[in-house]
Amino acid sequence: MDERILKWLYDIHNAIIEIERFFVDIPRDFKYYQSNIILKRAVERDLEIIGEAVNRILKKDPEFPIEYAKRIVGLRNQIIHAYDNISDEIVWAIISKHIPNLKKEVSSFIKNTE
């Protein structure tokens, strides 16, 4: 695997770990998330990093098999360019349902390089 792609996979993995760590000492609760502006901005920043890393991977290898890659990049673009249209409900659904799957996928890619 290309070293840059591997680096970006680690960036994705690390951003996901960071999101998970945000909820170690605080409730994993939508209402709490929605009311905590610092937490929301931190999660959104990590989602930006994930989206940018996926975007770079796709530029290097357009056929790289990350599921929902274009949607991940689209979310990054929405957070950055259409920040006023970001829905807390959508972000919560992403971190609750999709981030765990992405973590498994990225971990598998990384493990296969060892």
The one catalytic residue in 4, 71, 81, 98 is 81
Annotated active-site residue 56? The verdict is: no
Q: Could you tell me the two tokens for 92?
A: 């919560």
Query: What's the CA gap between 45 and 8, in Å, rounded?
Result: 16
Annotated active-site residue 76? The verdict is: yes
The one catalytic residue in 13, 28, 71, 76 is 76
| CA dihedral sign, ordered 73, 110, 104, 18 | negative
Using alpha carbons, list the distances in angstroms from residue 17 to 23, 32, 56, 59. 10, 20, 20, 24
- The three-class DSSP label of residue 66 is coil
Query: What's the CA gap between 19 and 38, in Å, rounded?
Result: 13
Q: Which residues are catalytic?
A: 76, 81
